[in-house]
Amino acid sequence: MSLFSAASYASPHEGYFLKASFYSSGSRTASGEHFNQHGFTAASRTLPFGTRLCVTNPATGRSVVVRINDRGPFVRGRDLDLARGAAVALGMIERGTATLKIVRLSRSASISL
Helix (H, G, I), strand (E, B) or coil at 30: coil
Pick the binder of a second copy from 18, 20, 47, 64 (CB under 8 A).
Answer: 64
Residue 52 binding a second copy, by CB under 8 A: yes
Q: How many residues sit close enough to a second copy to count as binding (CB under 8 A)?
A: 22
The number of C-alpha atoms within 13 Å of 67 and in the hemisphere containing its C-beta is 12
Pick the binder of a second copy from 34, 45, 62, 95 (CB under 8 A).
Answer: 62
Report the site for a second copy in 75-94 (rule: CB under 8 A). 85, 88-89
- Say which residues have a Cβ less than 8 Å from residue 41's Cβ, sequence separation at least 6: 29, 33, 35, 66, 67, 68, 69, 70, 82, 83, 86
Residue 7 binding a second copy, by CB under 8 A: no
Run of H or E residues at 58: none
Residues of the shown chain interacting with a second copy in the complex, contacts defined by CB under 8 A = 39-40, 52, 54, 56, 61-65, 85, 88-89, 105-113
